[in-house]
Structure 1
């Protein structure tokens, strides 16, 4: 084949490749545009003003969630009345992958798109959802909590793997004092007391913090293939094991009970968890009426009702069940991931 013929073939190939590339870009752009349209059947969402104010003069109790419906408000924090979660939602314009709030302080774990890959930040927000501080978290966000006073903020990220189920994950949990700025970057460095003795192991993981107050919290500690409920103390930098087979604890508003997920023998490996409530005074467990697999850190709507996420048409829906283990689960909000109850 002559040089001229080879050049002609090369030119033809380049034209074809350019056409394929253009078609791919146009298709991706069209798909993204369709994704950003409000989809039929999703909850109505309207832009508006969202505040984290509580107490005297604050609006009635509200549920703040991450919107999971495809459309212009995907991943934004939206608000609906707790008593009427099917009502139209008000969007804040603030995007978070995970969120929690208390006493006018919010913690938003968000994605930051980058040229060579996404990064993630923990962002402390004031009552008007204005940024007060940001911290790079170095992993994919999975859990977050703010202490009842609004002073302490905690988060957990995956630093490898993407699931609790396969046993190969690694997490890192951090606690930030929003008043002083002090940051404990890794709770695995705390002194661990197991069965009354100092304990240390290279495979320790800690996740799922829930605060009792600004100094005391509960969390999950894993080591040697076992999980434990631990009581943590920020000032003393200690973690003390209390009980086995407790994951992602969530403390009730009255501070007397923990909602948590536990592994149940005989269930499938990829769906092993059931929700229960632990009475901290008697250490008695009460299974919830929810029989489906729940991989979530539950949210207390009040002292009697627990909310949690389950797979749904838009990713996740919120369901609720009585903390007493009675009754039946009910759909709380479609296309939503739990955030916080305000008011």
Structure 2
């Protein structure tokens, strides 16, 4: 179970990224009945004391790198002077990251923090993400890393790398869903007033070829879909609800969500299924019908594709079973093309 979190901040660190990690893991929500524990949250740096941020002011960090030695999750924050790129890191920082990885703890980077993981060799042979502006540089400096510049975050084993700035929220909530379940992750998202889930494969930078005005937004349609997942949702019917042509609706949908209506609805159905599997005694067949898949075989197909395990296995883990299987302790890939664990 994820209990302790260490955030490593080096010179020229990103204040926004520090804040989002602290907001998610540094606030005590244990008394709210949502399943979110009080994390032992620490900030660490090379030499305890003031650490200058990229915004020009300094923050006080009380702990040295030893604070990361026994943490369940170690997060590498952005660093370096951009657009010049990162400077070589001290050997002690690299060794700390390697030791964390070797003991199978979670390792996560936000934005350009991925360069530290790459320099430490942790990303060799792995899929990884960073801010889209720096993806080409990461790939050129570290050819052993498979850089994906089009995603919000990537999980490869016990390593998670996120894209720029706010994508760190998505990566952190993804980790909470795995460790604590969908209900706990949704509770943190509500606290932060952010969407509970953006798929890791969603594009970092969404081009908006169709001008979006306040009257054109699809927010109302998206909200309606999420409370009516048990219904069929054709593009024709959704376009009519949005008072648009099918072609305009499809273009607008891609512009606002970064994906197609079918893919987006599948994500919402799997998320709802996770909540029902955690919080209700509904059978797999009942859950499948409640989220709009009809037959249980369809739920199992989409659930396995998105989460990497079966609905029944997910329920066993997140309804309190003590003997958690290895995949739940170490993580599993999130993209369909990634290899799946054998259960």
- Please, what TM-score do these two structures have when normalized by structure 1? 0.30
Compare CA radii of gyration and give the structure with the larger one.
Answer: 1
